[in-house]
Amino acid sequence: MSRTRMKGIDVSYWQGMPAGFRYRRFKEGGWDFIIARIGYAEDGRLQFDSTFEHNYRMCREHGLKVGAYFYSNARNARQGRAEARYVLRLLRRRRLDLPVWIDMEDEETSGRATRRQLSAACRAFCRTMRRGGYQAGVYASTSWFERKIGWLGRLPKWVAQYDDHVTYRGRYDMWQYTDNARVPGFTGGRDANRAYTTFRPIRRRIRRMW
């Protein structure tokens, strides 16, 4: 894998809404981005993450690159598209610097689908996001990429593996290497990530897809 181009953390409701000075210290400490959960699926319902607005605004105010992720329950292409359309409604044409990631890790829902169904769900989600004007990719653990998710073509991949190196043998763009990093500005352990790609926003007008 090529050199690290950016480093950052991912956050959700569980990390609350820290004060603005914490984001400033994070930036001053040499960190580059935050990927904020925008929503999640649970028991067949699509829900928004009440901390996304705050995280987005703080990133913009303090010069941090920002992306988003959605915790998925999708088991087929139809459900992947539905989740993406929901995310597009929540985004309301905001500009993002990093992709919108479909988070594939729920064993009780997506984990029960076949490899073919899961790859179709991921590709449908990402295709819908791109048509809406956003970069998109797939987040999963090494074991999910290798054993559960089928062919994804050239979609960006964000691999989770808490180790000193990644054993996934395919191409990937980001690595979540720990869930307990101590980072400047914020308290407690954080999910920390290394990005190996400088993501470029899609250079076209964001389309309304809902």
Question: According to the model, what pLDDT value does residue 200 have?
Answer: 82
Percent of the chain, pLDDT > 90?
Answer: 92
Question: According to the model, what pLDDT value does residue 44 have?
Answer: 82
d(CA 113, CA 139): 16
* Paired sense of beta strands 190-195 and 174-181, if any: antiparallel
Report which residue type is found at 127: R
d(CA 167, CA 133): 32
Q: Is the pLDDT of residue 29 over 50?
A: yes
pLDDT tens sequence across 101-121: 999 999 999 999 999 999 999
Q: Which domains does the chain have, with CATH numbers?
A: 6-195 (3.20.20.80)
* Paired sense of beta strands 33-42 and 45-48, if any: antiparallel
Mean pLDDT, to the nearest integer, of 8-33?
Answer: 98
Question: According to the model, what pLDDT value does residue 40 have?
Answer: 98
pLDDT tens sequence across 31-69: 999 999 999 999 889 999 999 999 999 999 999 999 999
Give Cα 155 to chain centroid, integer Å.
13
Question: According to the model, what pLDDT value does residue 1 have?
Answer: 55
- 139 φ, ψ (degrees, to nearest 5): -105, 130
pLDDT tens sequence across 152-179: 999 999 999 999 999 999 999 999 999 9
Q: What is the pTM of this model?
A: 0.95
Indicate the pLDDT class of residue 208, thresholds 50, 70 and 90. Answer: low
Question: According to the model, what pLDDT value does residue 205 have?
Answer: 53
Mean pLDDT, to the nearest integer, of 139-151?
Answer: 97
